[in-house]
């Protein structure tokens, strides 16, 4: 990366950019994470006990999760639900990305991208709350279904994880569409035409030609969507029912309601480990490296 910057902008500018990037990574990423790890390894003590004999590193905050069946079940439920959100977002985004990259005219692609981007000019809380209104027990969606005679009584879409899944797929669709679009757009159209000339159907063409070429984009989109879903707080807080709590809500409660920053830091670090593990799994599954994802 430094060589590319040096070749394009010259050594002084490249060094300045690398220096700014390094300082940003240290101050905004590395040091906060190290402090969080330190917090997670220390017990929650009274102010007078800080710095005393009890103030030492311990794994008690991590053991708490595995001794709490409710929190542990929410942790694994968040893992499974985040994987489900990622899968649903991929299923929705892939046809759209392919249409934008290979089928749509420049005008159609520009219009479609504009329609996708405009809602994201609005604050995430407002966008999520709009789904709360749409999916409400007496909301517009139920009223339309009742009017059309498709249902006999209103459906409680917000009872369980349905509303959370819908809200998250909508909230993070752009983070899946753009990596897929960039990967598919670079595919030579002659390969697709050649596959069809040789008798391959649409499904076989996508499975053997498009998807293998788009693996870096799929991996990038899945990683970004999973990490955003696993770390989301606003969507499950607004669209989830009391029985569909997210692990981030437990972390929030430790920090701001329980006032136990040490326990909250341990839970947050475990969530970070979960996201890193998923990223490594996706990279291994798709056989891509960090350089491929960075493209």
Question: Does residue 215 contact residue 287 with C-beta atoms inside 8 Å?
Answer: yes
pTM of the model: 0.86
With beta carbons less than 8 A apart as the criterion, state whether 272 and 256 touch: no
User: Is residue 156 packed enough to be buried (19+ CB in 10 Å), middle (13-18) or exposed (0-12)?
Assistant: middle
In a domain, 287, yes or no: yes
Q: Count of domains in the chain? A: 1
CA 264 to chain CA centroid, Å, is 21
CA-wise closest residue to 220 among 123, 97, 108, 121: 97
Residue at 127 is within a domain: yes
Q: Return the sign of the alpha-carbon dihedral for residues 230, 233, 236, 241.
A: positive
Q: Which two tokens stand for residue 184?
A: 């598919």
Q: Is 40 within the bounds of a domain? A: no
- Asked if residue 251 lies in contact with residue 267, where contact means CB atoms within 8 angstroms, the answer is yes
Residue 169 lies in a domain: yes
In a domain, 31, yes or no: no
Q: What is the dihedral of CA 232, 234, 235, 240, to 10 degrees?
A: 110
Q: Is residue 26 part of a domain?
A: no
- CA torsion sign for 105, 108, 112, 115 is positive
| Residue at token pair 């609005």 | 122
Both tokens assigned to 218: 């799929």
Residue 25 lies in a domain: no
Q: Are 249 and 237 in contact (CB under 8 A)?
A: yes
Place of tokens 């240290």: 26
Spans of the chain, pLDDT less than 50: none
Q: How far apart are CA 73 and CA 67, in angstroms?
A: 11
- The sign of the CA dihedral 101, 102, 106, 110 is negative
- In tens, the pLDDT along 135-190 reads 888 889 888 988 888 888 888 888 878 889 999 999 899 999 999 999 999 888 88
- Domain of residue 224 covers 69-294
Whether residue 172 contacts residue 89, with contact meaning beta carbons closer than 8 Å, is answered with yes
pLDDT score, position 3: 66
Residues 87-97 pLDDT 10s = 999 999 999 99
Structure tokens at 148: 């059309």
Write down the pLDDT at residue 293. 66
| Pairwise CA distance, residues 215 & 195, whole Å | 19
Q: What local confidence, expressed as pLDDT, does residue 9 receive? A: 64
Q: What CA–CA distance (Å, rounded) separates 220 from 213? A: 13
User: Looking up tokens 């990596």, which residue turns up?
Assistant: 179
Domain assignment present for residue 4? The answer is: no
CATH number, domain of 128, equals: 1.10.3720.10
| pLDDT at residue 199, rounded to an integer | 83
Counting DSSP H helices and E strands in the chain, the numbers are: 18, 0
């Amino acid at each position: 990366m430094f060589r590319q910057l040096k070749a394009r902008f010259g050594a002084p500018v490249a060094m300045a950019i690398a220096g700014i990037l390094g300082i940003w990574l240290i101050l905004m990423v590395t040091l906060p994470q190290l402090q969080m790890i330190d917090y997670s390894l220390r017990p929650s003590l009274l102010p007078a006990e800080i710095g005393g004999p009890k103030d030492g590193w311990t794994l008690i905050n991590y053991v708490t999760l595995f001794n709490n069946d409710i929190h542990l079940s929410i942790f694994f439920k968040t893992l499974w639900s985040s994987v489900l959100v990622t899968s649903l977002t991929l299923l929705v985004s892939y046809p759209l990305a392919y249409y934008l990259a290979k089928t749509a005219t420049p005008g159609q692609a520009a219009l479609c991208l504009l329609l996708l981007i405009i809602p994201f000019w609005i604050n995430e809380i407002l966008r999520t709350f709009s789904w709360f209104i749409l999916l409400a027990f007496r909301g517009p969606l139920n009223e339309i279904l009742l009017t059309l005679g498709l249902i006999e009584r209103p459906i409680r879409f917000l009872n369980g994880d349905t509303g959370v899944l819908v809200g998250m797929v909508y909230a993070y669709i752009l983070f899946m569409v753009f990596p897929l679009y960039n990967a598919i757009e670079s595919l030579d159209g002659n390969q697709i035409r050649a596959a069809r000339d040789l008798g391959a159907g649409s499904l076989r063409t996508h499975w053997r030609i498009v998807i293998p070429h788009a693996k870096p984009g799929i991996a990038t989109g899945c990683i970004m969507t999973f990490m955003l879903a696993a770390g989301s707080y606003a969507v499950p807080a607004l669209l989830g029912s009391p029985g569909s709590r997210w692990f981030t809500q437990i972390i929030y409660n430790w920090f701001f309601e329980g006032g136990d920053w040490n326990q909250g830091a341990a839970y947050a670090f475990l969530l970070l480990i979960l996201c890193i593990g998923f990223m490594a799994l996706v990279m291994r599954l798709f056989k891509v490296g960090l350089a491929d994802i960075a493209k």
